[in-house]
Amino acid sequence: MNPTLRRRLLAGLAFGFLVVVALTLISDIRQVGDHLAAFRWLLLPLVLGGTLFNYTLRFLKWHFYLGQIGVRNLRWQRSLKLFVAGFPLAVTPGKVGEALKAVWLNQEVSVPFARGVTVVLAERISDGLAVLALSTFGVISYPRYWPAFASVLVFLLLIVLVSQVRPLALWILGQLVRLPLIGRLSMHLLEFYEGAYALFRPRVTLIAVTLGTIAWFGEGLGFYLVLLGLGASSGINTLSIAVFTLAFSTVIGAVSALPGGLGAAELSITGMLALLLGLDGGTAAAGTLIIRFATLWFGVGLGLLVWTQSGDWLLLEAGESETSTPPSGFSHSENEA
């Protein structure tokens, strides 16, 4: 693996370990350990099934997006490998490593780097809109979350709407290219915009957000099973709080820009479980650790497994250190397109 990517990944993994340690210490390590020992671990395969359901629908969305930017000759098996290989990139600082997916697309099907980046952006925005959709009823029931919900929703919708008003979007690009450090990227910015315009069309966005909403609901069901395994009462109230908590904490983690939402998501889940479901600190922390393992770290593990089998193909070998981070953000497309 090239040194730059290794450092970023190790930094994210180390931060994740510190978050786990801090959460257990804050919540009383003995209580957390007792709750983990008492958890009904036979439920874990079902919890992971909810996560795999999420990944399956999000892969369909990824492959659908590729078709929208003109990728027609990528076999779904190869596309799936690219998709899963992207999971560990989520824990790199600021998630900047996710741009590597655009590099992979460039080398695999000659998609310009700038256009490939729009797929990564569209994934994040459609996922954001999906978890916000799942959070809607929770926000109505708990108005204290309304300001954060509304701020993120308006921001995401503005990106989508501006991309579809071509004269406005082109005017903004025209202003950007006048800036000294951005002007030389004018052609790449135009390529980026054309990709965004295709991916944020109303029909495409509706399909993507619908797939994302169903996908994230699958993880919400998994979290409900985690709570049942910790002794929470069954019923629609617990289910709705589980879905809302996981969805809204995903928003908080994304907004934080921390690798994988680490720290921000864990604190949000633990706090919301205590506040909305009345769980004690130890139970809430145990539930947080289990669901984060089943969602974030399970995915990271699957991605790393793909890396071990396809490191050469994914440009992860040490000899490829220059290709993993395209200079100035876009220049890799110049070399590979």
Q: pLDDT class for 261, splitting at 50, 70, 90?
A: confident
pLDDT at 42 over 70: yes
Q: pLDDT class for 24, splitting at 50, 70, 90?
A: confident
Q: Give the torsion through C-alpha atoms of 23, 236, 39, 30, to 10 deg.
A: 30
The pTM for the full model equals: 0.88
pLDDT tens across 292-305, in order? Answer: 999 999 999 999 99
- Could you state, in order of their start, the residue ranges of all structural domains in the chain? 3-336
pLDDT tens across 142-165, in order? Answer: 998 999 999 999 999 999 999 999
Question: What is the Cα–Cα distance from 276 to 247, expressed in whole angstroms?
Answer: 14
Q: pLDDT class for 175, splitting at 50, 70, 90?
A: confident
Q: pLDDT class for 331, splitting at 50, 70, 90?
A: very low
Mean pLDDT of the 12-41 span? 89
pLDDT at 326: 52
* Lowest model confidence (mean pLDDT) among 4-18, 68-82, 223-237, 270-284: 4-18
Mean pLDDT of the 11-39 span? 88
Q: Which residue has the higher pLDDT, 231 or 259?
A: 231
pLDDT at 1: 63
Q: Which residue has the higher pLDDT, 320 or 155?
A: 155
pLDDT tens across 120-130, in order? Answer: 999 999 999 99
Q: pLDDT above 90 covers what percent of the chain?
A: 65
pLDDT at 325 over 80: no
Q: Which residues contact 270 (CB under 8 A, 6 or more apart)?
A: 23, 27, 281, 284, 285, 288
Mean pLDDT of the 179-205 span? 87
C-alpha closest to that of 259 among 17, 13, 24, 84: 13
Q: pLDDT class for 85, splitting at 50, 70, 90?
A: very high
pLDDT at 322: 42
**Cβ–Cβ under 8 Å, residues 5 and 316:** yes
As a whole number of Å, the CA-based R_g of the chain is: 20
pLDDT at 40 over 70: yes
Question: What is the Cα–Cα distance from 168 to 209, expressed in whole angstroms?
Answer: 24
pLDDT tens across 190-199, in order? Answer: 899 999 999 9
**Cβ–Cβ under 8 Å, residues 50 and 58:** no
pLDDT at 327: 39
Mean pLDDT of the 100-104 span? 90
pLDDT tens across 212-257, in order? Answer: 999 999 999 999 999 999 999 999 999 999 999 999 999 998 888 7
pLDDT at 324: 42
Q: Which residue has the higher pLDDT, 71 or 176?
A: 71
**Cβ–Cβ under 8 Å, residues 119 and 58:** no
